[in-house]
């Protein structure tokens, strides 16, 4: 079974066809639903990291706020066109931020000067524009790492944390690289980092908080003072792991107490502990990042392990995906994919399918620039974000009274309107709606091929540029803020393209035929004006009959017939279709 969206071979008639151009317009693009080559889930996270550190993805190399805003909108529109649904937007790096903070200075990437206020709030602007497009926004923070390279010398208000609290900050040297890290062994440091997250949750309508660099830089980090004060004779590794555990727990518990529906997640090192075919830098033992303990304690809603390797290397991508998804502890595992890696960039479709094989909850790509020009076949249909049932498992009420019409004078423009549902038992109403479209009265809402669009409005305009038929069928369901879908939906309605019907009424007195060949198979589409029985014969180039299909029952409307061709060296064939009153001929090459 295949998706048909290419030019069909046109039939040859024994008698001349009339109005052939109109016929071609109707049948140029046909979408056959019900099945497709690789199953695509209806619910999965499709995310991307938008990196602002060093202006890698955004902002552009300019301090002009108009250009910065335009660039951000272009990113959002591009992601929407690719059927993404989630953004991890970097709001803190190098100890500076892209939002108004009482704790840390503005990033110099906006105005060219550290600590200088821009003319707009980038995080607020992004949230507003992303939500218009039904994209979730998670504020992504580099946590424990606060500077790479030399410390800033500019005096700002508030000052850079490494300057304000040097006793919290430790220099870390790795080869020729110098960086500065906070010592999370001090309770005051953990409180400070928690307050950064709280500030965002209280002041911005973010959908989630996304933690990165929530770890130690390495085994040789100098935390001798904090260990002496608070170690309590624990093993150094256990002391460090528990410091990070306490930080993660404090952030989660505090944020959930403020906004119960906010999502809290993180991006840990891709290898939790070494496997036979996945060996390298270990999250738990090399940087004391015990992310599975966070899941066990229910202090994360999701984890995005950074599995940035290709399919054949060691560490092996598939083995790590399997390892993470086997250890979900009833939370979500979203697989981080290293699109920046040239060997991975060639395998993105295969890696997506592997994450689905192991029942991951979605994918995230590092980073935007590396997938900007990529068109994902694996994302050819939209997907809804999976709900977090431990936060909210009560579905909203469905919308009602769906109506539709072909707007007068507009050949392919259909207006849909529906009623806003009343609140459910938990007080939730609809946050957004799924619009489903089909070619007959059977719409499968579990099949993402039927999803036309998700919208926050109670109306939608469906512009069908090249109609494939005169009648379309629609249904609408509702989703609440927890991404729960209503158990039922509106009644399925039929909307007729009345403008097109008036134009084509003489043409529809006859059956219409289109054909598309594949390698050794073909799909014959017949738009029949009545129920009837036909037979089909396949001939070679010399006119010898080599296959016969008899009989075939046609129903009124669209009929799809799949054909198989013999395994021969022949490349040219003829199909004869025997109707009760005539014979139609299709000639083609494979």
What's the pLDDT tens digit per position in 266-317? 999 999 999 999 999 999 999 999 999 999 999 999 999 999 999 999 999 9
The confidence band for 466, taking pLDDT boundaries of 50, 70 and 90, is: confident
Q: Which fold has domain 45-379?
A: TIM Barrel (3.20.20)
Collect all residues with Cβ–Cβ distance below 8 Å to 526 and sequence separation of at least 6.
511, 512, 513, 534, 554, 558, 559, 561, 577
pLDDT tens digits, one per residue of 218-228: 999 999 999 99
Q: Above pLDDT 90, what percent of the chain?
A: 76
pLDDT tens digits, one per residue of 182-206: 999 999 999 999 999 999 999 999 9
Pick the CATH number of 400-503 from 2.60.120.560, 3.40.190.10, 2.60.40.10, 3.40.47.10: 2.60.40.10
Round to whole Å and give the CA distance between 560 and 35: 13
pLDDT tens digits, one per residue of 69-103: 999 999 999 999 999 999 999 999 999 999 999 99
What integer is the mean pLDDT of 529-536? 88
Round to whole Å and give the CA distance between 56 and 54: 5
Domain extents for the chain? 9-18+506-589, 45-379, 400-503
Which pLDDT does position 62 carry in this prediction? 97
pLDDT higher than 70, residue 405 = yes
Q: How would you write 141-203 as a 3-class SS string?
A: EECCEEEECCCCCCCCCCCCHHHHCHHHEEEEEECCEEEEEECCCCHHHHHHHHHHHHHHHHH
The confidence band for 562, taking pLDDT boundaries of 50, 70 and 90, is: confident
Return the top range by mean pLDDT from 88-102, 453-467, 537-551. Answer: 88-102
pLDDT higher than 60, residue 173 = yes
What residues form DSSP beta bridges with 455?
A: 433
CA dihedral (193, 219, 269, 94) positive or negative? positive
How high is the mean pLDDT of the chain? 90
Which pLDDT does position 506 carry in this prediction? 52
Helix (H) or strand (E) holding 255: helix 236-258
Which pLDDT does position 556 carry in this prediction? 80
> Is residue 238 within 8 Å of 286, Cβ to Cβ?
no
pLDDT higher than 50, residue 9 = no
pLDDT higher than 90, residue 5 = no
Which pLDDT does position 286 carry in this prediction? 98
Which pLDDT does position 444 carry in this prediction? 96
Number of helical (H) and strand (E) elements in the chain, helices listed first:
14, 29
pLDDT higher than 80, residue 578 = yes
pLDDT higher than 80, residue 502 = no
Which pLDDT does position 519 carry in this prediction? 64
Which pLDDT does position 37 carry in this prediction? 36
Which pLDDT does position 512 carry in this prediction? 74
pLDDT higher than 60, residue 117 = yes
The confidence band for 503, taking pLDDT boundaries of 50, 70 and 90, is: low
Q: Above pLDDT 70, what percent of the chain?
A: 91
Burial of 376 (0-12, 13-18, 19+ CB in 10 A): middle
Which pLDDT does position 518 carry in this prediction? 67
Give, in degrees to the nearest 5, the angle at Cα 404 between 401 and 409. 155
9-18+506-589 with 400-503: one CATH topology?
yes
> Is residue 435 within 8 Å of 422, Cβ to Cβ?
no
- Alpha helices per DSSP H over 458-546: 498-504
Between 95-109, 116-130, 493-507, the lowest mean confidence (pLDDT) is in 493-507
C-alpha distance from residue 330 to each of 295, 357, 390 (Å):
8, 18, 9
Which pLDDT does position 501 carry in this prediction? 65
Between 23-27, 461-465, 476-480, 574-578, the lowest mean confidence (pLDDT) is in 23-27
What integer is the mean pLDDT of 451-477? 93
Which pLDDT does position 505 carry in this prediction? 54
The confidence band for 36, taking pLDDT boundaries of 50, 70 and 90, is: very low
Q: Which fold has domain 9-18+506-589?
A: Immunoglobulin-like (2.60.40)
């Amino acid at each position: 079974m295949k998706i048909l969206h290419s030019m069909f071979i046109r039939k040859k008639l024994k008698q001349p066809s009339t109005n052939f151009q109109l016929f071609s317009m109707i049948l140029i693009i046909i979408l056959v639903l019900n099945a497709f080559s690789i199953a695509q889930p209806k619910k999965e996270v499709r995310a991307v990291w938008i990196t602002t550190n060093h202006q890698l993805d955004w902002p552009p190399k300019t301090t002009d706020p108009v250009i910065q805003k335009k660039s951000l909108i272009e990113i959002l529109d591009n992601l929407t066109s690719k059927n993404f649904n989630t953004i991890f937007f970097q709001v803190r790096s190098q100890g500076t931020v892209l939002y108004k903070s009482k704790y840390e200075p503005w990033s110099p990437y906006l105005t060219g000067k550290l600590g200088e206020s821009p003319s707009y709030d980038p995080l607020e602007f992004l949230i507003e524009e992303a939500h218009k497009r039904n994209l979730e926004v998670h504020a992504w923070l580099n946590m424990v790492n606060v500077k790479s390279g030399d410390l800033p010398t500019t005096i700002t208000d508030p000052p850079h944390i490494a300057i304000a609290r040097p006793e919290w900050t430790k220099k870390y040297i790795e080869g020729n690289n110098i960086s500065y890290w906070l010592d999370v062994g001090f309770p005051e440091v953990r409180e400070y980092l928690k307050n950064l997250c709280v500030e965002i949750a209280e002041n911005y309508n973010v959908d989630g908080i996304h933690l990165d660099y929530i770890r130690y830089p390495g085994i040789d980090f100098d935390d001798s003072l904090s260990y002496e004060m608070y170690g309590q004779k624990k093993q150094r590794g256990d002391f460090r792991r528990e410091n990070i555990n306490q930080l993660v727990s404090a952030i989660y518990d505090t944020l959930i107490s403020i906004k119960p529906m906010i999502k809290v997640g993180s991006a840990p090192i891709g290898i939790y502990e070494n496997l036979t075919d996945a060996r390298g830098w270990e999250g738990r033992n090399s940087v004391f990042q015990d992310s599975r303990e966070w899941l066990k304690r229910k202090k994360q809603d999701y984890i995005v392990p950074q599995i940035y390797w290709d399919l054949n290397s060691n560490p092996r991508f598939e083995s790590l995906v399997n390892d993470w998804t086997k250890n979900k502890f009833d939370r979500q595992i979203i697989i981080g994919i290293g699109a920046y890696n040239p060997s991975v960039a060639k395998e993105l479709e295969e890696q997506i399918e592997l994450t689905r094989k192991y029942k991951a909850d979605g994918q995230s790509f590092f980073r935007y620039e590396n997938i900007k020009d990529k068109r994902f076949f694996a994302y050819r249909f939209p997907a809804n974000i999976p709900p977090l049932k431990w936060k909210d498992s009560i579905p909203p009420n469905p919308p009602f009274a769906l109506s539709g019409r072909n707007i007068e004078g507009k050949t392919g423009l259909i207006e849909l309107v529906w009623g806003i549902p009343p609140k459910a038992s938990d007080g939730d109403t609809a946050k957004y709606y799924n619009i489903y479209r089909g070619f007959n009265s059977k719409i499968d809402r579990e099949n993402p091929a039927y999803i036309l669009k998700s919208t926050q409005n109670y109306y939608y305009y469906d512009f069908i540029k090249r109609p494939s038929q005169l009648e379309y069928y629609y249904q609408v369901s509702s989703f609440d803020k927890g991404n729960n879908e209503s158990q039922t939906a509106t009644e399925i309605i039929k909307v007729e393209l009345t403008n097109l019907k008036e134009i084509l009424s003489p043409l529809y007195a006859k059956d219409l035929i289109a054909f598309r060949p594949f390698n050794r198979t073909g799909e014959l589409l017949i738009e029949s004006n009545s129920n009837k029985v036909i037979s089909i014969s396949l001939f070679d180039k010399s006119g010898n009959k080599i296959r016969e299909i008899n009989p075939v029952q046609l129903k009124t409307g669209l009929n799809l017939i799949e054909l198989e061709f013999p395994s021969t060296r022949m490349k040219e064939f003829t199909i004869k279709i025997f109707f009760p009153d005539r014979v139609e001929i299709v000639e083609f090459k494979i």
